[in-house]
């Protein structure tokens, strides 16, 4: 007990200067041998602590032991990457003992990654790995220097001798440019599919899409006038539309439709995941849209809209699909179970990566 206290004290000291109220080191979440999962939280003062997670229908209560450690164990669940958080009295927080955080601008949630016996397509496997590079570009459209992320595939040839197709991949509203890798594991999905020969080696560009005031118009300008030229002058890129794809989730799915269908000469593949389209901008672009379907169907080799049947946007997305069908635009819908989640995003991306650049 004394040694333990001493250790805790040392950890408290070495972790920074605001240490007075630091809780003891506890491990959370823990995946138990029987695959159940235990979540823990330390508080001597809290009156009620509960667990909220995308694997639960509604929050469940946690119980405190005499030392102030609250815990709850949930039965084994389908292996996947799930967001969760704690409610401590009135406050929703990320798990303070879990450094794996959901990259988002509007909420703080933690992530639990439940592995499968046979590794899942989004897990770190024993295959050659690509890299994810954080870099800065100057957007003249937005008058700002900002960060984007670039995935280069395993054994990437930087010499310029090999040229690669490129996917522009956009996060959801309130997500960040890191969400597709940190929550969506886009890099591992690509590594694994490329390693299995199921996807072509490609470059994946993940920009920051929360652009104001006009997320569709202004971000389309940023992508077309700034990001694409920046990428094509800095990476060995196949720069025709047959080798250029755009995909995105939620608000990013709406942006994908706007970017793609205002630039069908530039994007041979348009993959929209659970698009959010209830915006003035979308209405303006698509309500009285009179497309040249024959031309578009020649230019766009694949147009897909993916959604889960429990997604709160399901009815809206069905209307989007019907609208494109009514305009005679060829579309390949992917309807799966599940909600407006990053679990589904991984399924959608896994599907797209095997269908583009073929």
Among candidates 107, 130, 126, which has minimal Cα distance to 118? 126
Q: Which two tokens stand for residue 43?
A: 């508080």
In the complex with a second copy, the residue whose CB is nearer, 173 or 184, is 173
Footprint of a second copy (CB under 8 A): 10-11, 13-18, 21-22, 25, 43-46, 52, 54, 83, 85, 87-94, 96-97, 99, 101, 103-109, 124, 126, 129, 131-136, 145, 158-159, 172-174, 176, 181, 250-251, 276, 278, 312, 339-341
Minimum distance, C-beta of residue 91 to a second copy, in the bound complex (Å): 5
Q: Residues 6 or more apart from 193 whose CB is under 8 A from it?
A: 121, 199, 350, 353, 354
DSSP letters for 180-219: HHHTT-HHHHHHHHHHTTSS---EEEE-----SS-TTHHH
In the complex with a second copy, the residue whose CB is nearer, 34 or 161, is 161
In the complex with a second copy, the residue whose CB is nearer, 116 or 133, is 133
What CA–CA distance (Å, rounded) separates 276 from 251? 5
Using CA of residue 270, residue 276, residue 277, residue 282, what is the dihedral sign? Answer: negative
Q: Write the burial class of residue 145 (CB in 10 Å: 0-12 exposed, 13-18 middle, 19+ buried).
A: exposed
DSSP letters for 18-54: --TTPPPP---SEE-TTS-EEEEEE-SS-S-EEEEET
Q: Which two tokens stand for residue 108?
A: 């703080």
Minimum distance, C-beta of residue 133 to a second copy, in the bound complex (Å): 5
What CA–CA distance (Å, rounded) separates 14 from 262? 54
In the complex with a second copy, the residue whose CB is nearer, 134 or 289, is 134
Q: Which residues pair with 237 in a beta bridge?
A: 164
In the complex with a second copy, the residue whose CB is nearer, 276 or 303, is 276
Minimum distance, C-beta of residue 99 to a second copy, in the bound complex (Å): 4
Minimum distance, C-beta of residue 168 to a second copy, in the bound complex (Å): 18
Minimum distance, C-beta of residue 334 to a second copy, in the bound complex (Å): 19
Minimum distance, C-beta of residue 225 to a second copy, in the bound complex (Å): 20
Minimum distance, C-beta of residue 134 to a second copy, in the bound complex (Å): 4
In the complex with a second copy, the residue whose CB is nearer, 190 or 356, is 190
Minimum distance, C-beta of residue 186 to a second copy, in the bound complex (Å): 12
The answer to whether 79 and 114 have CB atoms below 8 angstroms apart is yes
* Residue 182 neighbours by CB distance under 10 Å: 22
Minimum distance, C-beta of residue 146 to a second copy, in the bound complex (Å): 9
In the complex with a second copy, the residue whose CB is nearer, 92 or 354, is 92
What CA–CA distance (Å, rounded) separates 85 from 82? 10
Distances (CA, A) of 212 to 114, 137, 175, 223, 338: 36, 18, 14, 14, 30
In the complex with a second copy, the residue whose CB is nearer, 85 or 285, is 85
In the complex with a second copy, the residue whose CB is nearer, 13 or 289, is 13
């Amino acid at each position: 007990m004394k040694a333990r206290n001493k250790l805790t004290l040392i950890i408290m000291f070495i972790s920074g200067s605001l240490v007075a109220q630091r809780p003891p080191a506890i491990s959370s979440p823990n995946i138990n041998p029987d695959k159940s999962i235990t979540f823990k939280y330390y508080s001597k003062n809290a009156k009620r602590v509960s667990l909220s997670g995308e694997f639960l229908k509604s929050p469940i209560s946690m119980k405190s032991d005499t030392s102030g450690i609250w815990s709850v164990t949930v039965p084994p669940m389908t292996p996947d990457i799930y967001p969760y958080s704690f409610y401590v009295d009135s406050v929703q927080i990320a798990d303070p003992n879990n450094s794996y955080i959901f990259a988002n601008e509007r909420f703080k949630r933690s992530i639990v990654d439940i592995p499968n016996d046979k590794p899942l397509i989004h897990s770190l496997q024993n295959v050659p790995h690509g890299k994810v590079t954080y870099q800065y570009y100057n957007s003249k459209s937005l008058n700002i220097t900002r960060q984007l992320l670039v995935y280069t595939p395993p054994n990437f040839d930087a010499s310029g001798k090999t040229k690669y197709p490129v996917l522009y991949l956009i996060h959801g509203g309130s997500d960040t440019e890191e969400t597709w890798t940190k929550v969506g594991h886009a890099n591992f999905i690509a590594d694994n599919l490329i390693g299995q020969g199921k996807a072509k080696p490609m470059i994946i560009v993940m920009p920051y899409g929360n652009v104001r005031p006009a997320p569709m118009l202004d971000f389309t300008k940023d992508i077309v006038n700034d990001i694409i030229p920046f990428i094509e002058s800095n990476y060995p890129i196949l720069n025709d539309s047959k080798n250029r794809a755009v995909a995105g989730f939620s608000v990013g799915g709406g942006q994908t439709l706007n970017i793609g269908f205002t630039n069908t000469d530039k994007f041979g593949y348009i993959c929209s995941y659970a698009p959010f389209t209830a915006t003035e901008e979308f209405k303006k672009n698509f309500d009285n849209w009179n497309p040249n379907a024959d031309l578009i169907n020649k230019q766009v080799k694949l147009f897909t809209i993916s959604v889960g049947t429990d997604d709160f946007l399901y009815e809206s997305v069905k209307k989007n699909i019907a609208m494109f069908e009514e305009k005679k635009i060829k579309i390949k819908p992917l309807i799966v179970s599940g909600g407006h989640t990053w679990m589904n995003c991984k399924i959608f991306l896994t599907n797209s990566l095997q269908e583009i650049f073929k």
